[in-house]
Chains A and B, each alone.
Chain A
Amino acid sequence: MDPLTILTTMFILMVQEGSILLIATLGEIFTERSGILNLGVEGLMCFGALSSFVVYYLTGNWITATLAAALAGLALSLIHAFVSITLKANQTVSGLAITILGLGLSSFIGRPLALSRVRIEPLESVRIPVLSDLPVIGPSFFNQNPLVYLSYIMVIILWFILYKTGFGLNLRSVGENPSMADSLGINVFLTRYIATSVGGALCGVSGALLILGYYPSWYDGITAGRGWIAVALVIFSSWNPLYAFFGAYFFGLVGTLNATFQSIGFRVIPTDFFRTLPYLLTIVVLVIFSSTRFRKRKMPASLGKPYTREL
């Protein structure tokens, strides 16, 4: 194989994997910016994937299926919102519970689907004229399914909302100093509910992209820890949607190394190593970027802290 073909294949795989991570990361960024830590990403993704799979199988309409995934993510994250915003419980515990619930529900509902080997057709790619003719970048970034394009657009939209709108300023302020925002008349609870449910919906959509785009049938554990990678990516990208774009594709690239090296017959390093690499990298990122020095500056100051109005 010639190097250009290898590179192109690598990039296509990178964009496929990276876009899934990207949507989930964006969702979690949106949630965390309001001060709510939702560790349920893995569960939301998985439940979103299952919901979109079922709806797509029944209706054959990918838009309806994607909306179903968004709704599934939103519903589960509302539980998290209620527990952590209204009941003011520990957000780490609640998030973990959401992961367990999401994975468990999906596994339970999905069992007959897995057993009966129900299959769907993956979403078709839509070629963007002109841009898709670029070498390497063209086929990888501009010849993908519509949900991948949605992920690009979401980067811009979320960045714009967070930094250029009044609502975004409110949301960020609520994540930094809720009591101050409250005293200025901003509805802290409503803002956090919106951030958590929109974020959860996006995590659901990333599950839809995962299954509608690349897997013809349902199987248990389909998300394979991608939700956790997304949680790490939030920190890696300093809670900024624009950085998330680069972070997600970097992790996407790492995830493709295994396939790439196999395809060129490079066997010196065992394939298990490459398969483990994204997770290793996740741990490394979490360790490095969790140092207090880094976190102090970038992390929303009230992340994970319930807000109680005092009087």
Chain B
Amino acid sequence: MNENVLEMVDIVKIFPGVVANDRVNFSLKAGEIHALLGENGAGKTTLMNILYGIYKMDSGVIKVDGRAVSIRSPRDAIKLGIGMVHQNFKLVPAHTVVENIILGSENNGFILDLKKSSEKIKNLASSFGLKVDPFSEVWKLSMGERQRVEILKLLYRNVRIMIFDEPTAVLTPQEKKELFSSLKEMSSKGKSIIFITHKLDEVLEISDRVTVLRRGKNVATKITKETNKFELANLMIGRPIIFEYSKNPPKLSGLALKVENVRVLDEEGNLRLKDVSFSLSGGEIVGVAGIAGNGQRELAEAITGLRHVSSGKVFVRGKDLTNASPRRFFENGVLFIPEERLGVGTAPNLSVAENLVLKSYDNSPFSNSVFLKFDAIQKFAEMLVKDFEILCPSVKVPVKFLSGGNLQKVVLARELGNLVSRDVNVIVAMYPTRGLDVGATEYVRRLLLKMRDQGNAIIFFSEDLEEILSISDRIFVMFDGRIVGEMDSSKADVEKIGLMMAGSIAS
């Protein structure tokens, strides 16, 4: 009679200052893949954390198989057949795959029978296409393999409702393909799947139905076949968005950045950058693709003076700045948009206004030789807040109270907004749109393109291949401390980039 395996009715969850879920309704049918779509901060993770017993809802009803249930912990959820693969994997790197999978499972017995467990795991793995060695330690595995371990953890417990929170964020294109085919396999065998994402293409590719959340409210549930990208985008952000960035052909001016055979060691003496060389001209924008941890951070830091270069040279506009201080890089027109917004990015306890002028406080118009000019600072900050659509009660609140997306905008506004008065050459941006909502993402991308048209050389690092393809002129692919591929974005091939990211081929 009731084909819904799960119903969430009028779920409300309030965090201090935010209504994360505002009377959300959600239902799931047996064997379907149901996408949960929404911008960052829309409340997707919160809703699923409630279902999985991590958060306690303020009001609402959860029904499993038509019966109201109370889920107070993940343990309760698992007993009801509900399991979740989190955005950040919950695994013990030092333990083996089997140990991770059986941990907390009820029928372990006092003495473990790892052989028997591993047989069961192997069977599950082969029937769902989730290849992984049960006796390997988890720290040796790739992100894709770790995700498989998480999925096997759920299958091992015979979960029938599976929640995936942005599962593709850490995967290469090939791994994503494999994940999608496993998902289809699981749904065809009767598992019901909730697939959280903010990527429209993924919704269209994998789901049967889609529920859209916007600012904590569910705005619609659609049958995927009966909708399209534009309608979904409209629902998700509340206004139409542009998918294509109109790009003028690049107008190259002279050489802006030249990197020759740069090597970098990390704190433990491991070689993290292995002879990286490239050059960058004014008026072009280069996107660097790669799975995080393959030397991107080291490269960005080496060309902004934040990290010691053990051999090789870095030239900015022909000037040798190898191992010069960050300040000198900055004075020579190198701008850096860091990865971490709190920490390197901002001073958490200083106000929005103070953070916005952190790098330029000692210049006019913000100070005379001794004192800061607060009026000028405040005016300037208010201008940036307006331009960058930073949501904050006032420019005087400490930045630690801002949400992730707004913090990112503060960092961007500080780095880019100060350009007005400066002669810039090179912009180095780490994951510039990570954590931003779609609207802000669009704004940042267009801003980067504008900076390029004004003659700046831009190099940015991104995990989003679509972003790289849509705005860069040239594309680099990094793997294992090297630039393993370099191509014109007009001739780029996603498949090939994916293989390069995984280290399978070099160009």
* Contact in complex: B104, A184 (CB < 8 Å): yes
Collect the chain A residues with CB atoms within 8 Å of residue B90's CB. 177, 179-180, 183
- A292 contacts chain B at the CB level, 8 A cutoff: yes
Known: A177-B90, A301-B93. A169 touches B268 (CB 8 A): no
* Contact in complex: B74, A185 (CB < 8 Å): yes
Q: Which residue of A lies closest to B268 (CB)?
A: A293
Q: Which residue of B lies closest to A167 (CB)?
A: B110
Query: Which of A166, A167, A177 is packed against the most chain B CB atoms within 10 Å?
Result: A166
- A220 contacts chain B at the CB level, 8 A cutoff: no
* Contact in complex: A185, B55 (CB < 8 Å): no
- B341 CB to nearest chain A CB (Å): 21
* Contact in complex: A183, B74 (CB < 8 Å): yes
Q: How far is the CA of A173 from the CA of B100 in the complex (A)?
A: 9
- A282 CB to nearest chain B CB (Å): 24
Collect the chain B residues with CB atoms within 8 Å of residue A311's CB. 54-56
- A172 contacts chain B at the CB level, 8 A cutoff: yes
Main secondary structure of the interface of B (DSSP, over half): loop
Q: How far is the CA of A186 from the CA of B74 in the complex (A)?
A: 11
- A267 contacts chain B at the CB level, 8 A cutoff: no
- A227 CB to nearest chain B CB (Å): 27
- A44 CB to nearest chain B CB (Å): 27
Collect the chain B residues with CB atoms within 8 Å of residue A301's CB. 92-94
Report A152-189 CB contacts with B as 1/0, cut-off 8 Å: 00000000000011110110110011011101111000
* Contact in complex: B93, A166 (CB < 8 Å): no
Q: Which residue of A lies closest to B90 (CB)?
A: A180
Report B93-115 CB contacts with A as 1/0, cut-off 8 Å: 11100010011100011111000
Collect the chain A residues with CB atoms within 8 Å of residue B267's CB. 292
Collect the chain B residues with CB atoms within 8 Å of residue A186's CB. 103-104
Within 8 A of A (CB), among B241-286: 267-269
Main secondary structure of the interface of A (DSSP, over half): helix
- B75 contacts chain A at the CB level, 8 A cutoff: yes
Report A270-306 CB contacts with B as 1/0, cut-off 8 Å: 0000000000000000000000110001100100000
- B174 contacts chain A at the CB level, 8 A cutoff: no
Q: Which residue of A lies closest to B102 (CB)?
A: A169
- B154 CB to nearest chain A CB (Å): 12
Q: How far is the CA of A184 from the CA of B90 in the complex (A)?
A: 10
* Contact in complex: B108, A297 (CB < 8 Å): no
How many chain B residues touch A (CB < 8 A): the figure is: 26
- B86 CB to nearest chain A CB (Å): 9
Q: How far is the CA of A206 from the CA of B139 in the complex (A)?
A: 36
Report B37-60 CB contacts with A as 1/0, cut-off 8 Å: 000000000000000001110000
- B91 contacts chain A at the CB level, 8 A cutoff: yes
Q: How far is the CA of A292 from the CA of B139 in the complex (A)?
A: 16
Q: Which residue of B lies closest to A180 (CB)?
A: B90
Collect the chain B residues with CB atoms within 8 Å of residue A292's CB. 267-268
- A80 CB to nearest chain B CB (Å): 24
- A166 CB to nearest chain B CB (Å): 4
Collect the chain A residues with CB atoms within 8 Å of residue B78's CB. 185
* Contact in complex: B54, A183 (CB < 8 Å): yes
Known: A181-B103, A311-B56. A166 touches B110 (CB 8 A): yes
Collect the chain A residues with CB atoms within 8 Å of residue B110's CB. 165-167
Collect the chain A residues with CB atoms within 8 Å of residue B418's CB. none
* Contact in complex: B111, A165 (CB < 8 Å): yes
Supply 28 A–B pairs (Cβ within 8 Å), ascending by A: A164-B111, A165-B112, A166-B112, A169-B95, A169-B102, A170-B103, A170-B104, A173-B95, A176-B92, A176-B93, A176-B94, A177-B91, A179-B90, A180-B90, A181-B104, A183-B54, A183-B73, A183-B90, A184-B74, A185-B78, A185-B104, A292-B267, A292-B268, A293-B268, A293-B269, A301-B92, A311-B54, A311-B55
3 closest A-B pairs by CB: A184-B104, A185-B75, A166-B108
Listed in ascending order, the chain A residues whose CB lies under 8 Å from chain B are 164-167, 169-170, 172-173, 176-177, 179-181, 183-186, 292-293, 297-298, 301, 311
